[in-house]
Amino acid sequence: MRSLKELARPNVRALKAYSSARDEYKGCEAHVFLDANESPYNSPLNRYPDPLQEELKTMIVDNRHRNYIWKDSDRVQVSSKNLFLGNGSDEAIDLLFRAFCEPRIDNAVAIDPSYGMYQVCAETNDIEYRKVSLTEHFEIDVDALLAATDGHTKLLFLCSPNNPTGNLIDVDKVERILANFDGLLIVDEAYVDFANKPSWLTRIPQHDKLVVLQTMSKAWACAGIRLGMAWANDYIIQLFNKIKYPYNVNKLTQEAAKNRLMKEELVHSEVQQIIEERESMRICLEALPIAICVYPSQANFLLVKFQDGDALYHYLVQAGIIVRNRNTVHRCAGCLRLTIGTKAENEELIKGIESFAQEVEQLV
């Protein structure tokens, strides 16, 4: 089995990271800052943000050690050394390729369909991207995934709950991959807060090649601030910090995240409302004759196969209702991905679908 150091690119291992003025100043109180060529005016935005987001990381780690919306958090044993914060989870995904994959030599494996940025980042970094189809019920085929790997496979991506299908990946299947794949296994948990199973975050201390991605965009309702998280062995985090941009998370984002983290009970309530609305939407959609299948979901959306999903999509657009058309995605022909909104928004969507169905019926 390859070690983490063997998996990392030699040039990244040897790289001496850029040291910013804020990296070099440590350890004592100061009130005059003349080290970073900042303007003395327009406080506090005149100052560069903390390049390693230490205060924010402490708040996030403390949050994981309490039992709010992160499941099983009382058994989390990670620290801020296991946490990387980036400009959305997309930054961490890109850094995985940059830190571990040699262009035109190494490759990555992922389930299909899944989140599209894995492939975009692979191709941007000139890394072969191998797709392994989910079954017709959107389950993973562990044997097929492992068969797609070889000696140059550095990364294997699983999204759980998966986007766009909404289902959780079976725990035993993930365990089999961890036991039999010697590259990095990345479990993307953007939607885990809406699921009824615990996060894989609790397993990081036992698996040095496990990377867990999370985000402030979904349950925490902060998509606009672009804050993503990667949890991993501290060696992986050190590599990320070596090659990231010096001030990758701006001051406004850090402050907005801190403010939101202090509203845990409100966020927990909002998540529960979304879960309840998801169930109500499922019941309403399954009662519609044009809905062929409402797929089970542990996320904040439902994937629904309609009799003519493409036509329905365009009809809804004209009505000012925007959903995601997944008709051209592998195994998703005729499918629309419907985000769970407020009760009023969801009711308007159902009315729009019913109106489309009535018009189709009149044309027949």
Tens of pLDDT, residue by residue over 82-114, are 999 999 999 999 999 999 999 999 999 999 999
Is residue 182 scored above 90 in pLDDT? yes
Mean pLDDT for the stretch of residues 256-282: 97
Give the rounded percent of residues in the chain with a pLDDT score beyond 90. 89
For the chain, give every residue range classified as CATH 3.90.1150.10.
Answer: 265-363
Is residue 295 scored above 90 in pLDDT? yes
User: For the chain, how many residues are written?
Assistant: 364
> Which three-class secondary structure string do you get for the chain?
CCCHHHHCCHHHHHCCCCCCHHHHCCCCCCCCCCCCCCCCCCCCCCCCCCCCCHHHHHHHHHHHCCCCCCCCHHHCCCCHHHEEEECHHHHHHHHHHHHHCCCCCCEEEEEECCCCHHHHHHHHCCCEEEEEECCCCCCCCHHHHHHCCCCCEEEEEEECCCCCCCCCCCHHHHHHHHHHCCCEEEEECCCHHHCCCCCHHHHHHHCCCEEEEEECCCCCCCHHHCCEEEECCHHHHHHHHHHCCCCCCCHHHHHHHHHHHCCHHHHHHHHHHHHHHHHHHHHHHHCCCCEEEECCCCCCEEEEEECCHHHHHHHHHHCCCCCEECCCCCCCCCEEEEECCCHHHHHHHHHHHHHHHHHHHHHC
Tens of pLDDT, residue by residue over 323-333, are 999 999 999 99
Mean pLDDT for the stretch of residues 129-138: 97
Is residue 73 scored above 60 in pLDDT? no
The pLDDT assigned to 359 comes to 93
The pLDDT assigned to 75 comes to 60
Q: Tell me if 233 sits within 8 A of 84, measured CB to CB.
A: no
Report the topology of domain 4-262: Aspartate Aminotransferase; domain 2 (3.40.640)
Distance CA 49, CA 52 (A): 9
Predicted TM-score of the model (pTM): 0.95
Q: Tell me if 230 sits within 8 A of 92, measured CB to CB.
A: yes
The pLDDT assigned to 341 comes to 98
Report the topology of domain 265-363: Aspartate Aminotransferase, domain 1 (3.90.1150)
pLDDT-based confidence at 66, cuts 50/70/90?
low
Is residue 71 scored above 60 in pLDDT? no
Decide: residue 131, CB within 10 A, 0-12 exposed, 13-18 middle, 19+ buried.
middle
pLDDT-based confidence at 178, cuts 50/70/90?
very high
For the chain, give every residue range classified as CATH 3.40.640.10.
Answer: 4-262
Angle at 69 between CA 197 and CA 270, to 5 degrees: 115
272-280 contacts, C-beta under 8 A, 24 or more apart: 274/194, 274/300, 274/340, 275/194, 277/340, 277/341, 277/342, 277/343, 277/346, 278/194, 278/302, 278/340, 280/343, 280/346
| Contact partners, residue 89, CB within 8 Å, separation at least 6 | 188, 190, 213, 214, 215, 217, 228, 229, 230
The pLDDT assigned to 27 comes to 63
Q: List Cα–Cα distances, 188 to 229, 230, 271, in angstroms.
A: 10, 9, 19
Q: Tell me if 275 sits within 8 A of 139, measured CB to CB.
A: no
pLDDT-based confidence at 74, cuts 50/70/90?
very low
